[in-house]
Structure 1
Amino acid sequence: MGIFNSMFGGKSDKESKPEKKSHLNWLPLTSLEQLETIKNESNTEAVLIFKHSTRCGISSMVIKQFEKLFTEEHKGLKVYYLDLLNYRNISDEVGYKFQVMHQSPQLIAVRNGVSVYDAAHYDITQTNLSRFI
């Protein structure tokens, strides 16, 4: 009850919830040409692709939980964000190029030009990100 908190010295929402710094830097995946970039980048480091449906409740919950997995240790990971509804053709090409069946939400890890890991739905939230550093 906001009015009672202010009358009796309760903390405001800003004071009680310190802002958490995000260690995830999303890279928007918006063109087919970027898939070749991802393939090339994966020769020197793991590259993650997060496929997200903005109209799906499960996908919305999973993406929030996925973001919470990131700690300072993971801040160097490259994570591409693919909006499935606006870029369906790119999603189709991701499946073809990296040989993964389409799911949503979906996390795909690419190393040396091939998918080495993929998870879907709530399994994404159990991903050990440290294995991709």
Structure 2
Amino acid sequence: MQKVQSVEEFENLLEQEGRFFFFKHSLTCPISGNAYNQYQTFTSGIDEPSYYLAVQEARALSNYIAERFGIRHESPQAFLFEKGEPIWNASHNRITKEALMKL
């Protein structure tokens, strides 16, 4: 799991990765902490690329993702991107290892 902090880094992912998971994490929210743990457990067991951002450290990127794809910002929020587009997203308690494993 790799941290992404800039719009430029994220745009490179969209261009270079065919399929990847992405997570928006709040450093101060306990619900986000639980979802982050679920995401981290899931990504440690897969061979696909996975990334995340900390909203407090990369607010511009978090807002950019919401605006670019027309998906309301929530935190925590998980995405699956394929060919540069989000094909799945979930937030809060819907982010579980079990839900992610179905993708």
TM superposition outliers: structure 1 runs of 4+ over 3 Å: none
Tell me the SS of whatever aligns to 2:95. Answer: helix
Shift of 1:130: 5.4
8 A Cα contact 1:49 1:107, kept in partner: yes
The structure whose RCO (Cα within 8 Å, separation 6+) is larger is 2
Count of paired positions: 102
Kindly name which structure, 1 or 2, has the bigger radius of gyration based on alpha carbons: 1
Question: More strand by proportion, 1 or 2?
Answer: 2
Aligned to 1:128: 100
> Residues of 2 paired with 1:70 and 1:47: CA distance?
10
Q: Which runs of 5+ in 1 are unaligned?
A: 1-25
**RMSD value over aligned CA atoms?**
1.7
8 A Cα contact 1:41 1:47, kept in partner: no
TM-score by length of 1: 0.69
8 A Cα contact 1:99 1:115, kept in partner: no
Q: Which runs of 5+ in 2 are unaligned?
A: none
> Residues of 2 paired with 1:71 and 1:84: CA distance?
22
After TM superposition, the structure 1 stretch with the greater mean CA deviation from structure 2, 48-57 or 122-131, is 122-131
> Residues of 1 paired with 2:83 and 2:64: CA distance?
17
Structure 1 letter corresponding to 2:8: E
Percent of aligned positions that are identical: 25
> Residues of 2 paired with 1:28 and 1:128: CA distance?
19
TM-score by length of 2: 0.87
User: Do residues 92 (structure 1) and 63 (structure 2) align?
Assistant: yes
CA deviation map 1:24-79 (0-9, x unaligned): xx11111110121121134xx3111100000001111111122223464x1x2111
